[in-house]
Amino acid sequence: MSQVVLDRAQAGELDAADPLAGYRERFLLDEPGLIYLNGNSLGALPLATLRRMDRMLRQEWGTALARSWDHWVDLPARAGDLVGELTGAAPGQVLVTDNTTVNLYKLACAALDARPGRRVIVTDADNFPSDRYVVEGIAAQRGLELRMLPTDIDEGVDPELVRAAVDEDTALVSLSHVAYRSGALADMAGITAIVHQAGALMLWDLCHSVGAVPVDLDGCDVDLAVGCTYKYVNAGPGAPAFLYVSARLREVLRQPIWGWFSQADQFEMGPRYHPAAGITKFMTGTPSILGTAAVEEGARLLLEAGLGPLRAKSVLLTSYLVELADAWLVPLGCAIATPRDASRRGGHVSFRHPRAERIVEELAAGGVITDYRTPERFRFGLSPLTTRFTDVWDATQAARDLIEREG
């Protein structure tokens, strides 16, 4: 590693040349000296969202009251189309609604019903806990077999293990596009094709993907997907999630939670349920209007910045972090627990260290916010719109100094 790379001045030069640098000023980041590298858990607050919330609270709710439902009622679908632009989905296939767990349950059940006679669900041992719990519960309720793929925590899902696990009895495969611990990026197109060759349906979790890495749901011929919006989409804590149903399946599938917002004639208040046409059939009850509006604002900001520039900066940030870590952290006993190939990782980088939890606590005490994941991993989440190269340099130096001091 050259001495130039280890010089903070180069980080400043990278910031000066960054075409997305101005976007940081469009977030409420006003704590002096804070280095926030946890956007892969909770994104920062866009100022546009702050203004939108004030308008909605004062005018749309405060003044217009229930009259605002005239334009609120189709907000989940409008916001869904914006998220669709972020995920490579044509209009009418994405809906902002519920949370990720509920959406996963809805789509998994709908997929299983569409593959009668098949009795196997496949997921992987390192999938996000909620994803595993949902399919485990469904398998138990329906008397199905759950096949759990062994997964290398650092390298992510191996397509060949998927190929070995699926057969003519497989109904559904459910995996995460970006691994939550390591940031390993799965081969969406390749794995989806393998699943389809077995006649099964593919359900992707995009929680760590949307807004961080390129996603091409339509181009990869994906069947179903879910994702959250409070990470890179910056929609806020507890913001509604989204679901994607391919247009070729949209009118075929029937979701299991029948609520009045998915009823064909919502205000008929009739005695029987008749599902709405289109993506609206995957609604349940009354949506979170404030949260859905926040999704709109976050998605608009990402689309304005451009998915290409966002990914380009994300690759530069994570590559720079890996270089610094090789020079400063690896010699001190840290192991890089994320694929080194930039094309195989998402927007965060993980490190293994026996004192990882303590490192996260002490970094936070010094104003560097990262996070901890078992077993013995700390993660640096680098959000392209808010993270500076100097933040990466300062945070890595702080981790180095801490480990050197305490051993």
DSSP assignment of 227-284 equals E-SSSTT---TT---EEEE-HHHHTT---S---GGGBTTGGG--SS--BPSGGGGG--
Per-residue b or e along 85-101, where b marks 16 or more CB atoms closer than 10 Å to that residue's CB? bbbbbeebbbbbbbbbb
pLDDT tens digits, 267-293: 888 899 999 999 999 999 999 999 999
Indicate if the pLDDT at residue 4 is higher than 60.
no
Structural domains in the chain, CATH included, are 8-47+307-406 (3.90.1150.10), 73-303 (3.40.640.10)
- Give which of 101, 157, 81 is closest to 125, Cα–Cα: 157
Q: How far apart are CA 161 and CA 170, in angstroms?
A: 14
- Give which of 264, 263, 225 is closest to 241, Cα–Cα: 225
**Which residues 6+ apart lie within 8 Å of 269 measured at CB?**
none
- The proportion of the chain whose per-residue pLDDT surpasses 90, expressed as a percent, equals 96
Indicate if the pLDDT at residue 55 is higher than 80.
yes
pLDDT tens digits, 236-261: 999 999 999 999 999 999 999 999 99
Structure token pair of residue 358: 């303590």
406 phi and psi angles, rounded to 5 deg: -105, -10
Other Cβ atoms less than 10 A from the Cβ of 19: the count is: 11
Tell me which of 205, 223, 371, 391 is the catalytic residue. Answer: 205
22 phi and psi angles, rounded to 5 deg: -65, -15
Q: How far is CA 67 from CA 70, 175, 266, 324, in A?
A: 6, 41, 17, 55
pLDDT tens digits, 122-176: 999 999 999 999 999 999 999 999 999 999 999 999 999 999 999 999 999 999 9
- Give which of 346, 291, 327 is closest to 97, Cα–Cα: 291
- 231 annotated active-site: yes
Handedness of CA 387, 390, 395, 399 (dihedral sign): positive
Helix, strand, coil shares of the chain as percentages rounded to 5? 45, 15, 40
Tell me which of 128, 242, 244, 282 is the catalytic residue. Answer: 128
Q: How far apart are CA 307 and CA 311, in angstroms?
A: 6
**Which residues 6+ apart lie within 8 Å of 142 measured at CB?**
112
Tell me which of 52, 106, 231, 281 is the catalytic residue. Answer: 231
Mean pLDDT for the chain overall: 96
- 230 annotated active-site: yes
What's the mean pLDDT in 399-405?
A: 95
Structure token pair of residue 29: 């980041």
> Rounded to 10 degrees, what is the CA torsion of 222, 201, 233, 14?
-60
DSSP of 5-61, one letter per residue? TTSHHHHHHHHHT-TTGGGGGGB---STT-EE-BTTTS---BHHHHHHHHHIIIIII
Tell me which of 24, 118, 373, 379 is the catalytic residue. Answer: 379
What's the mean pLDDT in 13-29?
A: 97
Using an 8 Å Cβ cutoff, are 359 and 196 in contact? no
Handedness of CA 336, 182, 343, 299 (dihedral sign): negative
Residue 5, pLDDT score: 64
- Give which of 368, 121, 354, 131 is closest to 227, Cα–Cα: 131
237 phi and psi angles, rounded to 5 deg: -60, 130
Residue 359, pLDDT score: 96
Other Cβ atoms less than 10 A from the Cβ of 322: the count is: 20
Tell me which of 180, 230, 282, 389 is the catalytic residue. Answer: 230
Indicate if the pLDDT at residue 2 is higher than 50.
no
Task: Give the range among 4-13, 59-68, 96-105 with minimum mean pLDDT.
Answer: 4-13
375: cis peptide before it, omega within 30°? yes
338 phi and psi angles, rounded to 5 deg: -140, 145
Look-up: residue for tokens 């859905």?
A: 292
- Give which of 314, 318, 347, 351 is closest to 334, Cα–Cα: 351
Q: Can you give the length of the chain in residues?
A: 407
